[in-house]
Amino acid sequence: MLDKVRLSSAADDVRYDEPMSAHTTFRIGGTADAFVSAANALEIGKVIHFCKDTDTPYVIIGNGSNLLVGDGGIRGVVIHIGKAMSKCRIDGTEVTADAGILMSALAHNILEARLTGFEFAAGIPGTLGGGIFMNAGAYGGELKDIIETVTFIAPDGLIKTETADNLGFGYRTSVFTEGGYTILSCKMRLEEGDYDEIKERMAELSRRRAEKQPLTQPSAGSTFKRPEGYFAGKLIQDAGLMGCKIGGAMVSDKHAGFVVNDGTATAKDVMALIKYIQKAVNDKFGVMLEPEVRFIGET
Catalogue the active-site residues: 172, 222, 292
DSSP code of residue 106: H
- What phi, psi does 181 have (nearest 5°)? -110, 150
Pairing of strands 294-296, 67-69: parallel
Apex CA 287: angle with CA 282 and CA 290, to 5°? 95
Task: Spell out the residues 6+ positions from residue 55 whose beta carbon is closer than 8 angstroms to its own.
Answer: none
Facing residues of 246 across strands?
249
* Residue 282 to residue 236: CA distance in whole angstroms: 10
| Axis crossing angle, helix 195-212 with helix 103-112, rounded to the nearest 10 | 150
240 by DSSP, 3-state: which?
A: coil
Residues 149/187, Cβ–Cβ less than 8 Å: yes
